[in-house]
Protein backbone atom coordinates (compact mmCIF):
# COMPACT_ATOMS: atom_id res chain seq x y z
CA UNK A 1 0.00 0.00 0.00
CA UNK A 2 1.38 3.39 -0.99
CA UNK A 3 1.68 6.06 1.67
CA UNK A 4 1.43 9.65 0.44
CA UNK A 5 3.32 12.17 2.57
CA UNK A 6 3.59 15.92 2.09
CA UNK A 7 5.87 18.42 3.73
CA UNK A 8 6.39 22.16 3.19
CA UNK A 9 9.29 24.52 3.77
CA UNK A 10 9.68 28.28 3.43
CA UNK A 11 13.16 29.02 2.08
CA UNK A 12 14.16 32.22 3.87
CA UNK A 13 17.31 34.25 3.22
CA UNK A 14 18.58 33.20 6.65
CA UNK A 15 18.11 29.51 5.78
CA UNK A 16 19.86 29.93 2.43
CA UNK A 17 22.83 31.66 4.08
CA UNK A 18 23.00 29.09 6.89
CA UNK A 19 22.98 26.21 4.39
CA UNK A 20 25.54 27.70 1.98
CA UNK A 21 29.12 28.61 2.55
CA UNK A 22 30.02 32.27 2.28
CA UNK A 23 31.20 33.94 -0.90
CA UNK A 24 28.98 32.48 -3.60
CA UNK A 25 25.75 33.30 -5.39
CA UNK A 26 23.79 31.22 -2.86
CA UNK A 27 24.77 33.46 0.05
CA UNK A 28 26.00 36.79 -1.37
CA UNK A 29 23.41 39.10 -2.97
CA UNK A 30 26.09 41.02 -4.90
CA UNK A 31 27.47 37.86 -6.51
CA UNK A 32 23.95 36.71 -7.31
CA UNK A 33 23.21 40.08 -8.96
CA UNK A 34 26.48 39.91 -10.93
CA UNK A 35 25.20 36.66 -12.46
CA UNK A 36 21.88 38.38 -13.31
CA UNK A 37 20.01 36.14 -10.87
CA UNK A 38 16.88 37.61 -9.30
CA UNK A 39 18.03 36.84 -5.74
CA UNK A 40 19.75 34.30 -3.56
CA UNK A 41 19.31 30.82 -5.01
CA UNK A 42 18.74 27.89 -2.66
CA UNK A 43 20.95 24.91 -3.31
CA UNK A 44 19.11 22.02 -4.93
CA UNK A 45 19.69 19.70 -2.00
CA UNK A 46 18.26 22.36 0.32
CA UNK A 47 15.10 22.57 -1.80
CA UNK A 48 14.89 18.76 -1.71
CA UNK A 49 15.10 18.81 2.09
CA UNK A 50 11.39 18.32 2.79
CA UNK A 51 11.30 15.17 0.62
CA UNK A 52 14.44 13.82 2.29
CA UNK A 53 12.96 14.58 5.71
CA UNK A 54 9.82 12.63 4.88
CA UNK A 55 11.94 9.65 3.81
CA UNK A 56 13.93 9.81 7.04
CA UNK A 57 10.70 9.91 9.04
CA UNK A 58 9.42 6.84 7.20
CA UNK A 59 12.59 4.76 7.06
CA UNK A 60 14.80 6.16 9.83
CA UNK A 61 18.31 4.82 10.35
CA UNK A 62 17.74 2.07 7.77
CA UNK A 63 17.62 4.71 5.07
CA UNK A 64 20.74 6.44 6.37
CA UNK A 65 22.66 3.17 6.51
CA UNK A 66 21.37 1.42 3.39
CA UNK A 67 19.36 3.85 1.34
CA UNK A 68 19.81 5.24 -2.12
CA UNK A 69 18.40 8.44 -3.50
CA UNK A 70 18.46 9.81 -7.01
CA UNK A 71 17.22 13.29 -7.81
CA UNK A 72 17.23 15.83 -10.58
CA UNK A 73 17.14 19.55 -9.97
CA UNK A 74 14.80 20.92 -12.62
CA UNK A 75 13.82 24.35 -11.30
CA UNK A 76 15.12 27.23 -9.25
CA UNK A 77 14.06 28.15 -5.73
CA UNK A 78 14.92 31.63 -4.49
CA UNK A 79 15.14 32.92 -0.96
CA UNK A 80 11.67 34.06 0.05
CA UNK A 81 9.92 31.28 -1.85
CA UNK A 82 8.26 28.13 -0.51
CA UNK A 83 8.35 24.50 -1.56
CA UNK A 84 6.00 21.57 -1.06
CA UNK A 85 7.25 18.00 -1.27
CA UNK A 86 4.96 15.14 -2.24
CA UNK A 87 6.43 11.73 -1.44
CA UNK A 88 4.86 8.39 -2.34
CA UNK A 89 6.32 5.54 -0.31
CA UNK A 90 5.55 1.96 -1.30
CA UNK A 91 7.40 -0.44 0.97
CA UNK A 92 11.10 0.01 0.28
CA UNK A 93 10.68 2.30 -2.75
CA UNK A 94 9.59 5.91 -3.08
CA UNK A 95 9.14 8.65 -5.64
CA UNK A 96 8.93 12.35 -4.93
CA UNK A 97 8.45 15.77 -6.44
CA UNK A 98 9.18 19.12 -4.86
CA UNK A 99 7.21 22.05 -6.24
CA UNK A 100 8.10 25.70 -5.80
CA UNK A 101 4.68 26.89 -4.67
CA UNK A 102 5.58 30.53 -5.25
CA UNK A 103 5.89 30.10 -9.01
CA UNK A 104 4.08 26.71 -9.29
CA UNK A 105 7.03 25.06 -11.00
CA UNK A 106 8.63 21.74 -10.16
CA UNK A 107 12.05 22.20 -8.57
CA UNK A 108 13.18 18.63 -7.78
CA UNK A 109 12.08 15.14 -8.85
CA UNK A 110 13.48 11.84 -7.74
CA UNK A 111 13.25 8.37 -6.36
CA UNK A 112 14.65 6.56 -3.38
CA UNK A 113 14.91 3.07 -2.05
CA UNK A 114 15.82 1.42 1.19
CA UNK A 115 17.86 -1.72 0.72
CA UNK A 116 18.53 -4.30 3.38
CA UNK A 117 21.94 -5.68 4.15
CA UNK A 118 22.65 -8.55 6.48
CA UNK A 119 25.10 -7.96 9.30
Q: Are 58 and 5 in contact (CB under 8 A)?
A: yes
pLDDT higher than threshold 90 for residue 21 = no
Share of the chain above pLDDT 70, in %: 97
Q: Are 82 and 100 in contact (CB under 8 A)?
A: yes
Which domains does the chain show, CATH number per domain?
Answer: 3-114 (3.10.129.10)
Phi-psi region of 104 (alpha: psi -120 to 50; beta: other; left: phi over 0): left
Q: Model pTM?
A: 0.90
Query: Phi/psi of residue 53, each to 5°?
Result: -60, -40
- Mean pLDDT, range 66-71, rounded to an integer: 95
Spatial strand order of the sheet with 3-11 comes to 3-11, 81-90, 93-100, 105-114, 67-73
Amino acid sequence: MTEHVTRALEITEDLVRAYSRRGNFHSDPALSADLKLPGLVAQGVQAAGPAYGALLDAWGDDFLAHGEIEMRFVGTVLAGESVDAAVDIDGDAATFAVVNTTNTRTAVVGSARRSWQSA
